[in-house]
Structure 1
Amino acid sequence: MSERGEDEEQEVKADEEDNTETNPQAGGGTAEQPPEDDREPGSDGEEARADSPSSDALETVEDAETQADLPDDAKQFREPQRKEDVENSTATVKVVLVPEGHVMTVAFTIGLRIQELKRHLASELRVPAEVLQISLDGKVVEEQQSLMELGVRPHSSTRMEMSSTDPTTHPLRPLRPPEHDNMPDVITVRVQTDEGVFQEVVVEIERPPQQKPFLGGYRHRLTEVEYHHAAAQTLPRKRPDRGVSIFSCSTQTVELKSRAQQCPVDAFTQMTSCYISCMNDKLVTPGNYITAEEYHDKRLRAVIRLQSFARGWLARQAVDRLKRERERRLAWLDMQERRRREEKEEQLRDRRQRWMNPQRREDFNLLYQALEKWRCEEEQQIKSSLRGAERKAALCSLLEQETQLITAIGRHHIAVQHNNYDKAITNLLDKSAAAHRWLGADGRLIEMDSQHTIRARELQDLYNSINLTPVSQEQRLHTLMTLKHTVKEHKCQLTQDIVDLIDREVDLVTRGIKAAKLEGLRKRISTLFLQYIKTPMFNPKMAKLLKVPQNPSQLKNNMLLCQGCQRYLHSTYFSPSASTHLNSRCRDCTGLDNIARSRNDNSCYKNILRRLRADELRLNEEAKIPFLLQVEDVRYLVKVVWSSCSALNASSDLYNLVFVRWERKRDWSPWNCILLSKEETSAHLEEEDVYKAYEAPFICRIEHKHMLARRHFRQISVMAEYLDYQPDAALDNQFVSKPITMTTGKHATDTTPSSTH
């Protein structure tokens, strides 16, 4: 058996050498990669040889020669075997992937159907089997046909093409790159099955995931092909079982035991004829003996020293932390002081700007307040320093100066009204032409134009074109014609007047009249067209912007009688107040009375109310009481209840006073507030319990002011429901209220008396 095995190995080596000479790549389990220039992209040497036109012919000749070389007995032996197992024989199938051109070689049983081949290739390419289409010689092969029906012989090779019906979603690509595919997938080996009988066996080569180690062999000098020893390619020979256990754990372990031994008698030995050098010997002398107390005392001193260093380090860290906190606190205080100073400078700058260039009604109230303050000071000085006729003359001169100043303020007021008129008209037209806006579900701002909005925008553009002064004669005539066609859509007396004025200007312009002489006529056209725009019948968008309703049936609604000018006006002309539903006089009469008599400026109280609302809205979004108060109510709190000064340091600068909560955990109200300067608010708001932070007399004074605020605001119906009632004894019978008189200057204002509870 050993001689036969050696003969078989020699024959296999001879066949491998023959295959190496014809094909350098089929070399005994290793393959040599051909040069890059001779190798086609996407295919290896075996695939290139399979694609050549003479490959099938060479295989046919080799099969014929093999059949001729076989003895008659072998032919008789193999022929019946082919008839019986012809369907189980294998064949080499080379599948070309279209359009990439990659070649896959598979050893396949010729008795199986094309459907099984598709499933195998689909698992290799990781694509669905339904998208694969196989063709042979340009014709599509059916799935139910087998290789034997297609004319494929056993142990032969055939070439087929495979494509994808959906190349976009499922393209055909090999899983391993072509540059790593340097070895054929299937080889044919001649094996001697019996004495003088040989059989060709198709061997499919498996590619391991890692490189096979080189365990010895030789290299061909001409072809540079490496051949491994048989020991590296075959399993080791199994040794026969002799019935004796050779390997055992008991022969490879040792048992160790430890045992102490002590000599029963101390003994020594003396060596002779042995020299020991004393060059490296050391002389050791005993030191001082240290007792246990000394040792522990030394350890204690060392521990104390370590603790002192550690505590010193911790103390330095604490000091550094305190320094950083102090610097941070000083920086914050400096920033707050700088911010308050800048805010105060901004207020003074704004006040000075309002003095120099007043634009609003509050600005003129500030001028009249300054005028009244100057008059009072001059009058007091005259009365204290002069007597008799000189005092009368000085008072007359003071009255004349006051009259001149009032006249100057009035002239400036008229000029400002003229300028503000154009701004008011522009704002009105912008509001009418504005698109409808709302927030969408995604948070974006959505704008929509309706037919009324487009109409208002066209009228606005036409009004702006008419008021343009530096225009040429052709542009002016074109604008007038456009205006004429626009207003002629509606026939009424207003549109007829506008058309007549347009015809008159066109006639004068054609006659060569200068533009300076046509200024009055153009002003009349602009005024009438503005009236046309404000009419809701011509511009429906104006119906919601006019204060006075155009429908006569709605004029009786919300109409009130002004006690000053004795006119019936809409409720929008009256200022609301928390103490009463509406004032008895309109805004114009109230402003005129303020200019003529009291000359008060409420801008500082408005700033206090604005800051109070902002602070409370930040602390509680559902705060209601600060938004029910009006400027007059804040003015009463500041002047009457808190005497226009801070509760702590009696600072009387109204621009530096603010209202904060008395008890921080309760919502702000007139009976839970304190008037402080801006510098004192931060320290007050840090106190958790004000009854422990302040002294009893100060707390009693604050509670007395809260009681006065309760008495006043109990008379207001909208504020009475927010009162936190207390027992009568605690409030000293304060539920019995009387009319409260608020004195401002020389005049007094009486509030509406409330009913007795």
Structure 2
Amino acid sequence: MSEEGNTNPTQPAADEGEAPQPPPADTAEAGGVDAVEGDGGAAAESANAGGEAEAEAEAAPAEGGEETAGTADETSPAAPTEAQDGEKGGSEEPTNLPVSPPADGEGAAAEAGTQEAGEAAAGEGGGEPAAPAEAATAAAEGEGVAGRVADDTEKPAEGAEKEPPAEGGDDRLLQEGVEAEAQNGEANSTAETGGAQVSIDFIILPEGYGQTKRYSPNAKLTEIRKELEAELSIPEGSLFMLNLTGPVEVEGLLETEKSLEDYGLRPHDRAGIELRINYYQEAPLQSYMMPDVLNVQVGVYIAGERDVVRTPRSYFPADEVHKVRTRMAQVIQRHARGAFARSRARRLRKEKADRAAWEEAEKERIQMEGDMRHKREIEKRMHPRTYDDFATLYMELEGWRINETNRIKRSDFPDDVKHAALRELLAKETRLLQTIDRLKLQAHSANRDAKIKRLLESMAKPRVWAQSDGETTTVHTPFTTRAKELMDLYNGLRLPLLTVDERLDVLLHVKWTVKEFDCNLTREIVDLIDREADMLNRGRPENSLRSLRTRVANLFLNFIRTPEFNPEAQRFQKVPRELYMQSAVQPFSTVVFE
């Protein structure tokens, strides 16, 4: 790039980090091409840079229609028609290629040049100058082209005097001061961040259109969304931003209250954001005019959604139908008869199995009853208990004796041998009779003990009362409780194999029980208990105390059977108490001596 047309004595120098100054008043007042051509040096500089800017614009178009038009006005004032065409064709959204961010001083100069180009374009179009915020946004979006233009242009010499503004109205000067303050604030913010920005690749779904823009890291998504909605000419709030990709991955809808820096994006980062447009737009109704003549066509609509194509089969005569029905009926009959036969066979098999099981159980029962009967017969002969048992023993003994006598008499032995055999038979019969008598005594003792046990248990048994609902209630009365205590004492007296201390404890309890009453029976029981205790203390053997213990037990049994001492015994008296008097159980105060 030649440096001849780059000197402009009237243009101030753009130091690094210093905001650019607003253009002179006479330049701002001039409109269109005249405003740009008023400054000869600036026009020459813009003309030199315009060719290269147009070449770069052809290779990589600007991000938006409005930004491209502004850059074209700045770099090539000799071609205002192309800039105006760019503004009119701003609906197209070409995708910008990524551009490296400029340096700190170059970014400020690029923003100032872009702002001047925007004002010049606005002057050419005959409209009002752009607002400070819009100019700053346009400068941020078009910094790629403006940066390259600023690189090609030479900075003016430092110390150059500013051109005094032309005379104009106060309102015009006030508006220019406001715009200058906005530009200075934007330049200061850019200088604070170092001039570095974040590149955002926007993709509109589902169309797939893309566009790349640059923003400050502290820019909020709300402002970015409003800017994009204004560019796309869609209602406010109808653009949704989601799925942030790049250095930071965020899925789902993005929160517009946050800034890019809040999402973790830093200067020089490149990220992607998906855009979705969702709004409803009512189309205006088309005007309709009723014609003078109406042609009405009457027809019938037949829906064919449920139509089914039917293909006829071969003809089937009645004889064949009858044969098929007969064959099918025979098949059904076979299956039915088979089912009936299988059911009857299962029932017969079950009856047979049940009969066999019953016969087996009956056979086992008969065998068990036979074994038990045999055991009872042996038990009756080994340990007879009843009168019938002893009668059977005597009968069998007599039959055995008769058979043995006849056998001896029918034998061919001599008479002396026969007499000896008869004497031996008689001796054996005698021993068997003695054995039977001994078994009778044992049975009598066992039967007596069992009878006494049943009597005492019957006395101690609680009363059972039947209720109206069929349930029974068991009640222990004072009489049954007394009978149970006496039964326990009697069983303790009959216990064998007790130690001396245990026997003395039982005797002491019996003595305290009978001493509640003073009569001949109780005195005799007390004397016998004292005698046994004295003999136990002397160390007498158990065999010598057997008769004494039997006597004590019998006397205490009489004590239990007496209704005066055991009221529950009244129910088991066979003879009424009034018919006889027992002097042994009467107290001494009531005994009458004759």
TM range, normalised to the smaller chain? 0.3 to 0.5
> Structure 1 length normalisation: TM-score?
0.32
Q: Larger relative CO (CA 8 A, sep 6+): 1 or 2? A: 2
Whichever structure has more helix as a proportion of its residues is 2
Largest Rg, 1 or 2 = 2
Whichever structure has more strand as a proportion of its residues is 1
